[in-house]
């Protein structure tokens, strides 16, 4: 275990890469990575980029590709799509609704319209296709986690839909380019997790605001035995797919079309 008083050294530098100066006294912090130098990200650097979600987890994930100056504008439309929809249809329609609502609310803003709007939605689904969103009470929260542990050997699915919008300069209906993606990840709960542990976890309130009632990136990882798919999709935003959508909608927006890709 590292001595907490030991200063953290910056990571090794590539040859001829300038290093930021470090104070000679006091603890040193690790150097942040340089931002990705990609055409799409360079196009929106310093411009108005809106995340149509209040999720701090999605904001943290987008910061990993350099989108650190996001404007947070949550959608005001009720999320009341029919649960009779298949999970991937439900998240896609909800994410589209969020992104379009925020785009329409900000496109004529006095501060100028957005250069990009990113919307997302995440749900957890049982093996029977039952959609599980945020728990509504402590009792519901406990019951949800027990159901995920006990059903189908602990396996369930997490779906996240991402929708990216960018305005078009050409006067072409509907005035924006749009790309969408739905990603699916299989998650297995450890079936040896006790009722006592589930109740104890629920009382931490970590999972109270999360689809399925747990946060895999936090204490909720103690419930999870295995993940088949992308980890950040379970957190709430598949980063690789989101970057691909941003590149598609900004670099190659020839025809505004809806692309529903389910992986």
Q: Would you please indicate which residues are annotated as catalytic (active-site) residues?
A: 121
Written as one string, the DSSP assignment of 118-134 is EEEEEEEE-TT--EE-S
224-251 burial by CB neighbour count: b if 16+ within 10 A, else e? Answer: beebebbebbbbbbbbebbbbbbbbbbe
What's the DSSP call for residue 210?
S
Does 174 sit behind a cis peptide bond, omega within 30 degrees of 0 on the bond before it?
Answer: yes
3-state secondary structure labels for all residues of 232-259 = HHHHCCCHHHHHHHHHHHHHCCCCCCCC
CA separation, residue 132 to residues 12, 103, 121, 136, 228 (Å): 44, 27, 12, 11, 19
What's the DSSP call for residue 69?
S
Closest C-alpha to 253, from 172, 198, 193: 172
On whether the CB atoms of residues 192 and 225 are closer than 8 A, the answer is: no
Beta pairing class for 71-72 and 224-228:
unpaired
Taking each continuous run of H as one helix and of E as one strand, the counts in the chain are 7, 7
Residue 99, class by beta-carbon neighbours within 10 Å (0-12 exposed, 13-18 middle, 19+ buried)? buried
């Amino acid at each position: 275990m590292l001595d907490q008083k030991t200063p953290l050294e910056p990571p090794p530098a590539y040859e001829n890469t300038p290093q930021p100066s470090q104070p000679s006294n006091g603890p040193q912090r690790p150097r942040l990575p340089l931002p990705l130098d990609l055409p799409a990200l360079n196009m929106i650097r310093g411009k108005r980029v809106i995340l149509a979600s209040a999720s701090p987890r999605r904001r943290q994930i987008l910061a990993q590709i350099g989108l650190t100056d996001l404007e947070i504008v949550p959608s005001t439309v009720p999320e009341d799509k029919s649960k009779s929809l298949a999970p991937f249809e439900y998240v896609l329609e909800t994410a589209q609704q969020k992104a379009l609502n925020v785009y329409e609310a900000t496109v004529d803003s006095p501060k100028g319209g957005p250069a990009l709007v990113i919307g997302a939605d995440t749900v957890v689904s049982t093996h029977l296709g039952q959609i599980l969103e945020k728990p509504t009470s402590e009792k519901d929260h406990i019951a949800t986690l027990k159901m995920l542990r006990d059903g189908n050997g602990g396996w369930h699915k997490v779906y996240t839909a991402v929708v990216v919008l960018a305005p078009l300069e050409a006067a072409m209906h509907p005035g924006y380019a749009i790309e969408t993606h739905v990603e699916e990840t299989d998650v297995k709960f450890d079936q040896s997790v006790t009722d006592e542990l589930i109740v104890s976890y629920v009382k931490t309130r970590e999972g109270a605001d999360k689809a399925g009632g747990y946060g895999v990136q936090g204490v909720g990882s103690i419930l999870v035995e295995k993940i088949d798919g992308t980890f950040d999709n379970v957190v709430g935003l598949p980063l690789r797919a989101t970057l691909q959508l941003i590149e598609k909608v900004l670099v190659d927006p020839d025809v505004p079309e809806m692309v529903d890709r389910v992986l």
